[in-house]
Amino acid sequence: MTTSSVSPAHSPAPEQEDVPLLRLRGVSKNFGPVQALSNVDLDVPAGQVTALAGDNGAGKSVLIKCIAGIHAPDGGQLYWEGEPVHLHGPRDAARLGIETVYQDLALCDNLDIVQNMFLGREKTRRGLLDEESMEIDAGATLRSLAVTSVRSIRQPVASLSGGQRQSVAIAKSVLWNSKLVIMDEPTAALGVAQTEVVLQLVRRLAERGLAVLIISHNMNDVFRVADRIAVLHLGRLAGVYPIGRLNREIVVDLMTTGRSSRLSEGGRDGDH
């Protein structure tokens, strides 16, 4: 069931034996005369990493913002655990269990790790900040994800490396019993060692049963971490394929032309 803050739609959910955590059907979004998304169908299953690929302007950022509740689609329907929902803002998405890690990470350099992880959702006790409880929860979350590179959870974020900052941002996203974590360019501007740490962390999220949706222009990272790749071309879904059916040349074909002669015949989504 949906929460009271997330308005249910009236159309019934499509029938399917294995219902994905998130399903998009016919999602479209316009900005004035510009059609950013057109009739996008996409399933995002739990326990898998789905990579969203596409050239600049393909609609990747618009799509994740529709899922995150920032943009309201102009057409189509979102289904959460099989139930149709309308998201009226990021708070509605968060209540369902959707958390987004944007490229700028939204961390405050002057605050420590614990303060950043609870920023805007601080725990209180008798009207005062419950520092001890927040520290315990933050530490437990970092340990559960095997984030061991930080010296102290009370060190300022300004003192962290790029990889450590990304790890903290990801840990923050799963602190709230999230079910879907969306990441925008999680390895951008990171060195080789830091990238390895972040990619391992992404895989850990999927192994814990979370759905992970990532945007990345780095095809090496995508092929290392993703279970499936969804490719957008000029706002339309060119296809969704398991990683084993693809190579870099096919993905580039799909990104630049919306099709690839290197692919054998198959369906559009999920099982190809």
Q: Do the Cβ atoms of 207 and 29 come closer than 8 Å? A: no
pLDDT score for 11: 47
Task: List the chain domain ranges.
Answer: 1-97+215-272
119-134 burial: b if 16+ Cβ within 10 Å, else e: eeeeeeeeeeeeeeeb
* Entry pTM: 0.87
- Kindly give the parts of the chain with pLDDT less than 50: 1-13, 16, 265-272
Q: Report how far residue 251's alpha carbon sits from residue 219's, in angstroms, rounded to the nearest whole number.
A: 9
Q: Do the Cβ atoms of 258 and 59 come closer than 8 Å? A: no
pLDDT score for 189: 84
H-assigned helices in the chain: 60-67, 90-96, 113-117, 131-144, 162-174, 192-207, 219-225, 248-257
pLDDT score for 266: 47
pLDDT score for 5: 45
pLDDT score for 148: 86
Q: Do the Cβ atoms of 168 and 160 come closer than 8 Å? A: yes
pLDDT score for 17: 57
Q: Which CATH class is domain 1-97+215-272?
A: alpha beta
Q: What is the pLDDT of residues 181-240, one digit of tens each?
A: 999 999 998 999 999 999 999 999 999 999 999 999 999 999 999 999 999 999 999 999
Q: Among all chains, which residue has been given the structure tokens 């169908």?
A: 41
Q: Residue 231 is inside which H or E element, if any?
A: strand 228-233
pLDDT score for 177: 86
Residue 270 CB neighbour total at 10 angstroms: 18
Amino acid at 61: S
